[in-house]
Amino acid sequence: MNAPRDLNRKPTGLERIRAAFQAANRAGRAALMPYFTLGYPDAAASLEVIAAIAGAGADLIELGVPFSDPLADGPTIQRSTQAALEQGMTVRGCLELTARLRERGVSQALLLMGYANPMLAYGVELYAADAARAGADGLIIPDLPLEEAAQAQAACLANGLALVYLLSPASPPERIAAAAGATSGFLYLVSLNGVTGARSRLPEGLEGFVARARAAARTPVAVGFGISTPEQAAQVGRLADGVIVGSALIDSVSRSAQPARAAAEFVGNMLSALSPQPPGKGAGERSFVGEN
């Protein structure tokens, strides 16, 4: 399928993701990529929270598409996706919320993070087409390893979407090379062997893992899973091009009576921790591995 794509001037998803990493890089820091569950605690509230995350200056946003059996998620995200499903959230509802975010002027790169089955049930090609039309820039599918991803890969390609592959500290060199070669947008490094969820300490050996991945990568590398505090974010930000924070953000939003405000504050704190000290002009450019 090599039909000419329509020539409207919107940037493709890939371009938007690339620009987000470059902008953060120019500001001398790692890009911040918060994760939030679409439809949690309900559709309207999630829209407010995500708009607030965008308003507070997050660089990219991961939008969680709820699934009944989220294998790779810990209790916090499980509870949030379960609550969203109980509120009637669907895949189509998630795409509609994504479109609403764009209508509200959210200009950040948006990545839909969801498990394989709802996408298969929707139809892989339709899902990619509708996601792109709704304004999403890429997909992250935690239970779709490279070996099973051919169809999704083609659908993403046809719609200008990134398909982001994940790596874990257990990934051997062959898998690192394969994922680095196949991923688009960025390479998602799962910091630890385990499910999502806030942790009190960063895993040992993270530095080596990021270095190995970076050596193979042709895109920016971002680290997620377990990052909870601004201090941890700052530490990870010194190693990687992007920092992904999910459970800790959801925890703080859940605890607050003013979810949008809590989200904005959380993102603000993370951003200032990532920003070069002292902040402002004069911060040197980070050395940044070239991307394709």
Partner 1 sequence: MKVKICGITSLEDAQAAVRAGADLLGFNFYPASPRYISPQACRAIAEVLRPTGVCLVGVFVNAGVEEVRSTLAECGLHLAQLSGDEPPEVLAELGGLAFKALRPADSQALDGMLARYPARASAPAWLLDAARPGEFGGTGQSADWRLAAGLAARAPLLLAGGLKPENVAAAVRQVRPWGVDVASGVESTTGRKDFHKMVEFIQAARRADLAAEPASAPRAGKYGPYGGQFAPEVLMPALAELEEAYAAAQSDAAFQAEFERLLAEYVGRPTPLSYAARLSEALGGARIYLKREDLAHTGAHKINNALGQALLARRMGKRRIVAETGAGQHGVASATAAALLGLECVVYMGEVDIARQQPNVQRMRLLGAEVRPVQSGSRTLKDAVNEAIRDWVANVGGTYYLLGSALGPHPYPAMVRDFQSVIGREARAQILAQAGRLPDACIACVGGGSNAIGLFQAFRADPGVALVGVEAGGEGLATGRHAARFGDPRKGRPGVLHGTFTYLLQDADGQVAQTHSISAGLDYPAVGPEHAFLHDSGRAEYTSAEDGEALAAFQMLARTEGILPALESAHAVAEAVRRAPKMSRGSILLVNLSGRGDKDLDTVLGLLDRQTGGAQ
How would you label 151-166 residue by residue, b for 16+ Cβ within 10 Å and e otherwise? ebbebbebbbbbbbbb
31-37 and 242-245 beta bridge pairing: parallel
Q: Which is nearer to partner 1, 47 or 89 (CB)?
A: 89
- Closest approach of partner 1 to the CB of residue 44, in Å: 16
Q: Which is nearer to partner 1, 87 or 272 (CB)?
A: 87
Q: Which is nearer to partner 1, 36 or 165 (CB)?
A: 165
- Closest approach of partner 1 to the CB of residue 273, in Å: 27
H or E element in which residue 35 lies? strand 31-37
Q: Which is nearer to partner 1, 58 or 139 (CB)?
A: 139
- Closest approach of partner 1 to the CB of residue 119, in Å: 7
Q: Which residues form the interface with partner 1 (CB under 8 A)?
A: 1-6, 8, 67-69, 71-72, 74, 78, 82, 85, 88, 90-93, 115-123, 125-126, 128-130, 132-133, 142-145, 147-148, 155, 158-159, 165-168, 170-172, 175, 179, 190, 193-195
Active-site pick, 73, 130, 241, 251: 73
Q: What distance in Å separates the CA atoms of residue 237 and residue 244, rounded to the nearest whole number?
A: 10
137 has catalytic annotation: no
In angstroms, the first-to-last Cα distance of the chain is 23
Active-site pick, 6, 42, 62, 241: 62
CB 244 within 8 A of CB 223: yes
Interacting residues of 204 by C-beta distance below 8 A, sequence separation 6+: none
Q: Which is nearer to partner 1, 142 or 230 (CB)?
A: 142
- Closest approach of partner 1 to the CB of residue 180, in Å: 13
CB 112 within 8 A of CB 131: yes
130 has catalytic annotation: no
Interacting residues of 163 by C-beta distance below 8 A, sequence separation 6+: 138, 139, 141, 149, 152, 153, 156, 182, 183, 184, 185
Q: Which residues are catalytic?
A: 62, 73
